[in-house]
Structures are given as C-alpha cells and as structure tokens.
Amino acid sequence: MIIKPKGTYDILGIDAKLHTYLNHEIENFMINYDYELIRTPIFESSELFHRSVGEGTDIVTKETYDFKDRGDRNLTLRPEGTAGVVRSLIENKLYGNKNDCIKLYYNGTMYRYERPQSGRNREFTQFGVEVFNSNDPMIDAEVISIGYNLLQSIGIDVTVNLNSLGDLESRKKYTEALVKYLEPNIGKLCPDCQNRLKTNPLRILDCKVDKDSEIFKNVPKISAYLSDESKQRFNKLKQYLSILDINYEIDEQIVRGLDYYDENVWEYTDENNIVVGGGGRYNHLVENLGGPSIPAVGFALGLERIIMNLKNNIDEEQLKNNIDVYIMSINEEEKINALRIAQNLRLNNIITEINSNNLSMKSQFKIADSLNAKFIIILNNEDLNKGLINIKDNVTKEEIKIDEGDIVDWILGNI
C-alpha cells in the first residue's frame, strides 16, 4: 500500500466540511471588504523566497521543499503566500494607479518541511490578505480587523498580540542593545540561538526552545528604542483597534519568523494559546524584490489550526448532511422520473438526493433519515401517470399529493 507523505493529510469527512464552510465564510467576508482574489503558482523560483522570507530564517534554511525541474531551474514549493503575491504585483505592474490601494486575498496550500506535530503540517492551507500602496496605520487596523472579525464570526475568540518592530533605524539600535545584553549569557541558549546571535539576533526572542529561559526576564524592550514616528504609528494603530472593538494585547516578544517585516506586527492567538495567524507591515519588500517603493501590510491565517479549534467546539450534529429532499424509486420507470425530478429540484436550489443503488424501500427510508431529509418524495407509477407527486414531511410524517408543475414552489415554500 502506498501511503501519504509524512506531514500531509487527506482532507475528508468533517475536515472537508469545515474547509468548505471556512472557504464560504472567507469568500463572503472578502466580498464585503471589497478585496480581490489572487492565485499565484504553488512553486516559484527559489531565489524569490531567499530574497523575501530571508536567508537566515528557519523557513529558508531548514524548511523549504527545493527541487530542480527538468530544465535545471531551481524551484521551491511556496512556504508562504506573501512573496508570490509581491512577485506578481511587480511582474504584472498591478500598481498602475498610484492613488489606489491594491487589496488582495488568497487561499491556498503552502509547504514547509517541519517536524510534524499538532497544528504543524508539511502541507497546510493559508488564507491571506495583502494590501499595497497605503502607509496609513488605518489600513493596518482594517487588515487586522479582517482576521479578527472572521475568526470571531465563526466562534473563535482570539486576542491580537501586537508589537512594533519600528523602522530600520530603530531596529538597528535595538538589535545592538539586544546583542550586548545576550552576549554574556549566550552559552545558556540553544545552538540555534547561538547562531542567531550573529545572523538574526531578533529571532532569539521568538525561539520555541528557549522561550521560558530566565535570560529573557530583563531583556531590553524594543519599545524603548522606537523612533517618534514609529511610536506614533503604533499608537494610532492601537487607537483604531479600540474604535473597532478589537481585543489586543501588547507583546514585545513578537518578532515574527520572516525577515520582511517592519513597524507594526501582530499574531492572532486563540483561547488555547495556539497562534492561528500572523502578519504585519513590510514597507520595503516590493522594492527589495525589484519593484518601486510601495508600502504594504498583510497577514495569513492557518486554516488547519482554525479547523482544529472548530473541531473542539462544534456540535457534530451541525455538520451532518442536511438535505431538503430524498427521492425514492423502485422500478425503472420511477427511477427515470426520479432522475428527471431531481434535476429540476437541484436547478432550483433544492438540495436533493436520489436512490442510486436499486435499494429496498426500507433501506431508502433509512438513508433519507441519515441524510436528515426534510421531505421524501415517494414515487409510484399510478401518481406519475396522473401528473402527481407524493411527498412526505419527514418530521410530521404527513403525506400529500402535489401537481408536478407546483412541486418546486411547494418545496421552496415549506423548507
């Protein structure tokens, strides 16, 4: 037997239902917020991720799926969505109108070679949002609110953990202070952090291994190193979030695992302390990838982590199939009519299922019940010859005969 690769999952059963439900909610949200869908390739040139996510990051050093295609090109399965969207923005010159914000969203699979564990897969799905061409913290608030409101609307109570990484200058000063503080004690941290001290000191604050180390108790705080402009930008964001009733907390440990961020960054943390999403501003990435200087902000949510949360809380009854009509048939003539009537109902937005396995009446009733059918159409040749349809309310068990021409209106009026 051939089995699925480690860290991947077949999405089926309840998970598939929850994915469908989530996709539907996302589409509706994005219509109301007036964001446009973008789909970029699942593989891109490896260089794109090296230059955006960053050479020294865990994602690029340990987690990418890299391969050469038959034309000897270096390609990588996308570990995240932002880089591809920025590449596409530049390549397609989407920034044509300088005055307009470009508001995009995506929903697709990403790939990271991580050690599989709960909430950490090698193939996973991100819903993400990226907004280009506005440097106003009001847009940061709008973007944060999309993730927050979406999660609240599906019953997941999240806190937005907020931080400011400041501008390049603030970050440089802070990094110097951090290195000075950590250097004498670096031997007490994990080997990765010992390397990070040279390559990417900020990332030490985000280390999953050392997160409870005593060393961090008196670590310098980034807030003390922010420029006036960064401080003002952060304060404005907090003000806007309060106006939008968004539950946020300041968390100076949040540095994010990708190199392109500056200024405001955040993570969405659920009631079980699982980080279900994160994002931030990245005002230099478009330029660094060869485009014009265009400010940007965005976030991504991990759908599998959201589904993990939903599965703990949702009433499974809610996820059961709920059809409107089950059509029963016994002989060939009834079967042909069932097929014809089912098509008519389905084309009129009535969720319909038919007997498709030549089952006995008893088995068909059982299936109708298991599908929670509201109505059962019990076909018989005698009624059909008179143009009548026998329909049974599967809750009250009442049966009536209806003219076939009236069946759609009758069902729509009664479901």
Give the binding site for ligand HAM (CB under 6 A): 80-82, 112, 114, 119-121, 124, 126, 128, 130, 257-258, 275-280, 298-302, 304-305
Give the residue from 231, 129, 216 showing the smallest Cα distance to 181. Answer: 216
State the minimum distance, in angstroms, from the CB of residue 82 to ligand HAM. 4
Q: How far apart are CA 280 and CA 247, in angstroms?
A: 17
State the minimum distance, in angstroms, from the CB of residue 63 to ligand HAM. 8
Q: Is there a contact between 15 and 307 (Cβ–Cβ < 8 Å)?
A: yes
Name 376's bridge partners: 326, 392
For ligand HAM, the closer CB: 10 or 317: 10
State the minimum distance, in angstroms, from the CB of residue 361 to ligand HAM. 47
For ligand HAM, the closer CB: 278 or 291: 278
Q: How far apart are CA 333 and CA 296, in angstroms?
A: 63
Q: How far apart are CA 79 and CA 120, in angstroms?
A: 13
- How far does Cα 84 stand from its chain's mean position? 16
- How far does Cα 304 stand from its chain's mean position? 8
State the minimum distance, in angstroms, from the CB of residue 314 to ligand HAM. 18
Residue 180 Cα distances to 72, 91, 175, 185, 270, angstroms:
44, 42, 9, 10, 34
Give the residue at shortest CB distance from ligand HAM.
302
State the minimum distance, in angstroms, from the CB of residue 122 to ligand HAM. 7
State the minimum distance, in angstroms, from the CB of residue 304 to ligand HAM. 5
Q: How far apart are CA 298 and CA 303, in angstroms?
A: 16
For ligand HAM, the closer CB: 268 or 326: 268
- Those residues whose C-beta lies under 8 Å from the C-beta of residue 56, and which sit 6 or more positions away, are 196, 199, 200, 203, 259
Which residue type is seen at 57?
T
State the minimum distance, in angstroms, from the CB of residue 256 to ligand HAM. 6
For ligand HAM, the closer CB: 114 or 136: 114
State the minimum distance, in angstroms, from the CB of residue 306 to ligand HAM. 8
For ligand HAM, the closer CB: 202 or 345: 202
- Pair of tokens at residue 41: 């390739």
For ligand HAM, the closer CB: 127 or 174: 127
Residue 85 Cα distances to 91, 301, 313, 400, angstroms:
10, 16, 34, 57
For ligand HAM, the closer CB: 203 or 305: 305
For ligand HAM, the closer CB: 222 or 307: 307
**Cα Rg for the chain, rounded, in angstroms?**
27
Name 323's bridge partners: none
296 φ, ψ to 5°?
Answer: -155, 155
